[in-house]
Structure 1
Amino acid sequence: MEGYDILSILLVLISAWIGGFAMKRIGYPAILGELLVGILVGPALLGWIDSNSTIDVLAETGIIMLMAYIGMEINFKDLGKASKAGLLAALGGFLVPFILGYYAITINGGTQISGFFVGIAVGVTSLATKSRILVDLNLLDTRIAYVLMVGALISDTIALIIFAGLSSFIDAGSVDTMGVIMVAVKALLFFGLTSALGFYVLPYVGKLFTKYNIKDKTLYFTLLLVIVFGFSELAEIAGLHSILGAFMAGLFVRDGIFEKQITKQVNSVFHDVSIGFMAPIFFVSTGFQVTLDVFKTDLNLLILILVIAFVGKILGTVLFYLPSGHGWREGLAVGAGMNGRGAVEIIIAGIGLQKGVITQEVFSILVFMAILTTLSVPIMLTWTTNWLQKSGKLVRQNTREGFLIMGANSLALLISKYLKDSNTVTLIDSNKDLVASAKANGFNCIHGNALESNILEEVGAKNFKTFLGLTSNSEINLLAAQLAYDAFYIPEKHIVLTSGEGRAGISLLKSISTSTLFASKANIDNWIKKVQNNEHKEVFEKVVQKMTTRQWLKSKLNENVKILPILIIDENKNNRPFHYNDTINIEEKVLYIV
């Protein structure tokens, strides 16, 4: 039996990896692949794997660790500065589908408690997948992006609070006046105690670790687990579910209890263990609980829940969004973006099934609803934002600005000299001599490795609009651009590709929304030497006909002149890098060196 359990875990992990990898390759969250593969290999279809006690324990642990990680990813302080639009989107996007979901179940013979559970599941919004979708659609610097992130955060927080109270009522088995009071008192005590621990005790522990110079990452990781499971147990004692305790623990751990570098390292390990091991077991095993009988016995209810999920979320967002003054079209785009469900919805549905509140058929309907709504987000968000773009109503906000440049060589300094006239510019280089030289010439330059995420975090990479990879090493430029894309969602990325770089480099550029500097491959070592020795000449040329950067470059190549175009200067003297995916307008100037 023990050998069978280990084999089951092995098969679950292999299935999770295959499903998650396949789904990520086509641009969707890995959890969808893990759910689908669980349905495929589980009892619903092939029947190769079934749940057992070992998988159940690991899945339960996976829920706790996943919720803690979600808490770590959320900046709870953003709730305090949430815009009116974000709050309206959150309320409309949660309340309307919540109410519709509740009545859909109760009218069809379900209990009030099951109606509440379905309402919560239909009302939540996937927070974890929003950033990547916004990056892929080049929307991160729009007002829609900010509203979506704040809206998702608020709606998920509302859902967890309602779920916590509902879970207490189920466990209490009574909803009389005294029962309601006891549930409320225990919930308040829980939030009071965890807040006291989070604001006072945990920071004190962190100071002790710093005082005694404790650097043992294993010890820190163990302490993190103790905090997460300790908070989870407090939630259970209070009659709330453990996931709320784990979520609260994640929120407090995120807020800088330990040294920044240690926190970064430990959180990275926690991410790998939870997302790479525990959570996939949970999602694959969740697929084991799905039954396809709903397509025969409960097809009408399935269709009804799907309609409520789509229409309720989108229409509710549009209606509540109107008082923001941003228009119903933008409300439609926000609703389309909030329509996806994710981890929280699946966890709540699974707990409802575990507690016997909802049937296996209703649980299966909620899983299919989560899958289909999440698959719809990129398609619907693309359509609605393109519509806004064409009508001139897609508002971009300058929440990000400036250039983050990897490389402090002479060519990078020349480009930076012109860019900093109208932008903030920060350079990073691992060569101390180049950093010292850049600083001596008045540039803001940081010594460090731009391939290390903690270095980019320290320089505030998340606040920059554009990343430039200006070293002569294509591989390093590509890796740095990918880090800027994956970890910091920097919208614009342009890098140097050398002439020897093959098709693989070009393919990677497309996958991370990056273009080539100078609009072509270039071996810049000679140009660096020319600039360093002051053997170059800077030429400004006005463009008299609108054309792409590639067209302009080809026209110069036909003149058989060896040049390197570095900047485009518009009529307002705003400078931008000369790169592949750009258009030069009439009266704009190109700055190139010869």
Structure 2
Amino acid sequence: MHLAAGPVAPLAAHDLMVFLLQVGLLLGLAVALGRLFTRLGLSAVVGELFVGVLLGPSLLGHLAPGFAEWLLPHDPARFHLLDAFGQVGVVLMVGVTGLQMDLGLVRRRGATAVRVSVPGILVPLGLGIGLAYLLPGSLLGSVSDRGTFALFVGVAMGVSAIPVIAKTLIELGLLHRNIGQLILCAVTVDDIVGWLLLSVVSAMATVGVSGGRVLHSIANLVVVVVLALVLRRVVTAAGRRIAAGRRIAAGPSVPAVLVGALVLAAAGTQALGLEAVFGAFLCGLALSGTPLADPERLAPVRTVVVSVLAPVFFATAGLRMDLTALGRPAVLAAGLAVLAVAIAGKFGGAYLGSRLSRMSHWEGLALGAGMNARGVIEVVVAMVGLKLGVLSQEMYTVVILVAIVTSLMAPPLLRRFMARIEETAEERLREQALTPGSVAVHL
């Protein structure tokens, strides 16, 4: 087999300099704006996305197009280098999210969480699919299949974002409340279902929607889930044997094993025609609660991912937004319609689930406010849709806008609704027992 015609030329000095400048500038601004938005009581993710808005076509590309083209050239070879850096970040970020999920909480409050989560997903999913068939054809991407486009929009409307919600609950001091615990549990179910749906819809966008191909994608999905369950059993059993003899050695080996496992799992699902992020999430979920996911050993990985890789990814995602597109009446009308459906669908679905569980009116509204925050997962869904050619640049901007607005809405609405719900003695005891180090999910 002929592997190469000759040695591969190294990256040009100018290209390397521009890439390093891009990463340094995006990271510095993402950290600064993330901290600023946190001080304002908002999510750091929104601040990080705004970095891309400032440096992308929305502002810098409009005010100084020459400098913007030099700093962030449209040449695919150059932009793909930055994009690859961001993709590694999102794979590890999603994997770390899975590692920190508390499956014990799902088991303890599973029935109520499912009753809340199922309508909380199905209602916005159905409304999103219906709305997508009414949107103008100009919002479809290069893969101009209306059915696949509608499914992608539906998935984007149905998901929630556990990192944003968990962070909001912690900052508002609501994690010890029964509603706070239930929101976290229901969104955990949402996350799992959301990644499953994204993986199936992505496979459909790649291989088409014929019955045989869809069944093949679902079969691959089942294989991946079974392998994850086997991995969890093997690691748990090995961890018990090691714990019976000696502690797992500390040091760089455990973080390296974790990162390697997440990346290889992502590569495996990508090879099967499923999304890479789904493999990383499922691997993290399989390893959660095992000795490998011990918070002390996970700390080095989490620090690098949360402090360096994730901010660059969100800033890169913001670079693809073009808010000037909202100046066109058709795009603005579509954006407002999608935003209204996303909010009404998630609020309505969560409220319906809460009432079916015999919860009060204010508890239902609080659940809706918490589960309405899309944040991280909606950004990933939008990036996948754009990459696969299902979403146009304008529709991508609309979906990211939904993620930003719903993440901004969560804190004030939660604060208002929770003030109407009386705190119980059990919740006060839980607050005393709950320390920052005991929080399972705090990405």
For this structure pair, what is the TM-score category when the shorter chain's length is used for normalisation? 0.7 to 0.9
Please say if 1:170 is aligned against 2:205.
Answer: yes
Secondary structure of 1:255's aligned partner: coil
Aligned counterpart for 1:2 among listed residues 11, 16, 21 = 16
Q: Which residue in 2 is equivalent to 1:326? A: 359
Shift in CA distance, 293/192, structure 1 to aligned 2, threshold 3 Å: same
Q: Which residue in 2 is equivalent to 1:300? A: 333
TM-score norm. by structure 1 comes to 0.64
Tell me which amino acid in the other structure corresponds to 1:153: T
Q: Which residue in 2 is equivalent to 1:245? A: 279
Matches within 5 A, 1:12-161: 12-47=26-61, 48=68, 49-50=71-72, 52-108=79-135, 109=137, 110=140, 111-161=146-196
- How far apart are the structure 2 equivalents of 1:272 and 1:374? 23
C-alpha contact 1:59 1:282 (8 A) present in aligned 2? yes
Q: Which residue in 1 is equivalent to 2:143? A: none
Once the two structures are TM-superposed, the CA of residue 287 in structure 1 deviates from its matched residue by 0.5
Secondary structure of 1:107's aligned partner: coil
Once the two structures are TM-superposed, the CA of residue 399 in structure 1 deviates from its matched residue by 5.5
- How far apart are the structure 1 equivalents of 2:159 and 2:26? 27
Matches within 5 A, 1:186-225: 186-200=220-234, 203-204=237-238, 215=249, 217-225=251-259
Once the two structures are TM-superposed, the CA of residue 81 in structure 1 deviates from its matched residue by 2.6
Superposed CA deviations along residues 450-501 of structure 1, whole A, max 9, x for unmatched, are xxxxxxxxxxxxx56268xxxxxxxxxxxxxxxx4x54479xxxxxxxxxxx
Once the two structures are TM-superposed, the CA of residue 203 in structure 1 deviates from its matched residue by 4.7
C-alpha contact 1:92 1:321 (8 A) present in aligned 2? no
Secondary structure of 2:282's aligned partner: helix
Q: Which residue in 2 is equivalent to 1:518? A: none
Tell me which amino acid in the other structure corresponds to 2:432: K
C-alpha contact 2:106 2:113 (8 A) present in aligned 1? no
Superposed CA deviations along residues 423-447 of structure 1, whole A, max 9, x for unmatched, are xxxxxxxxxxxxxxxxxxxxxxxxx
Secondary structure of 1:128's aligned partner: helix
- How far apart are the structure 2 equivalents of 1:42 and 1:305? 23
- How far apart are the structure 2 equivalents of 1:399 and 1:271? 29
Tell me which amino acid in the other structure corresponds to 2:39: R
Shift in CA distance, 171/330, structure 1 to aligned 2, threshold 3 Å: same
Shift in CA distance, 315/238, structure 1 to aligned 2, threshold 3 Å: same
In structure 2, stretches of 5+ residues that fail to align are 1-14, 62-67, 74-78, 141-145
Once the two structures are TM-superposed, the CA of residue 142 in structure 1 deviates from its matched residue by 2.7
State the identity %.
24
Shift in CA distance, 147/154, structure 1 to aligned 2, threshold 3 Å: same
Higher strand share: 1
Tell me which amino acid in the other structure corresponds to 2:72: D
CA RMSD of aligned residues (A): 2.5
Tell me which amino acid in the other structure corresponds to 1:63: V
Shift in CA distance, 266/201, structure 1 to aligned 2, threshold 3 Å: closer
Aligned counterpart for 1:267 among listed residues 295, 298, 320 = 298
Q: Which residue in 2 is equivalent to 1:540? A: none
- How far apart are the structure 1 equivalents of 2:416 and 2:204? 42
Shift in CA distance, 193/466, structure 1 to aligned 2, threshold 3 Å: closer
- How far apart are the structure 2 equivalents of 1:399 and 1:83? 19
Further displaced range: 283-292 or 205-214 = 205-214
Once the two structures are TM-superposed, the CA of residue 79 in structure 1 deviates from its matched residue by 2.6
C-alpha contact 1:131 1:489 (8 A) present in aligned 2? no
- How far apart are the structure 2 equivalents of 1:210 and 1:221? 22
- How far apart are the structure 2 equivalents of 1:143 and 1:266? 30
Superposed CA deviations along residues 374-429 of structure 1, whole A, max 9, x for unmatched, are 1111111222223x24xxxx36361563xxxxxxxxxxxxxxxxxxxxxxxxxxxx
Superposed CA deviations along residues 119-165 of structure 1, whole A, max 9, x for unmatched, are 11121112123334334444333321122111111112111111111
Task: For CA contacts below 8 A with separation 6 or more, give which structure has more relative contact order.
Answer: 2
Superposed CA deviations along residues 40-97 of structure 1, whole A, max 9, x for unmatched, are 1223211344272321111010111011111012112333333543222212222111
Superposed CA deviations along residues 200-255 of structure 1, whole A, max 9, x for unmatched, are 15753885699687635212221111111121122123221111111112123322
Secondary structure of 2:202's aligned partner: helix
- How far apart are the structure 2 equivalents of 1:242 and 1:198? 19
Secondary structure of 1:293's aligned partner: helix
Q: How many residues align?
A: 403
Tell me which amino acid in the other structure corresponds to 2:160: T
Once the two structures are TM-superposed, the CA of residue 264 in structure 1 deviates from its matched residue by 2.9
Shift in CA distance, 254/397, structure 1 to aligned 2, threshold 3 Å: farther
- How far apart are the structure 2 equivalents of 1:344 and 1:161? 12
Please say if 1:465 is aligned against 2:438.
Answer: no
Shift in CA distance, 27/237, structure 1 to aligned 2, threshold 3 Å: same
Q: Which residue in 1 is equivalent to 2:6? A: none
In structure 1, stretches of 5+ residues that fail to align are 402-462, 468-483, 491-594
Superposed CA deviations along residues 546-567 of structure 1, whole A, max 9, x for unmatched, are xxxxxxxxxxxxxxxxxxxxxx
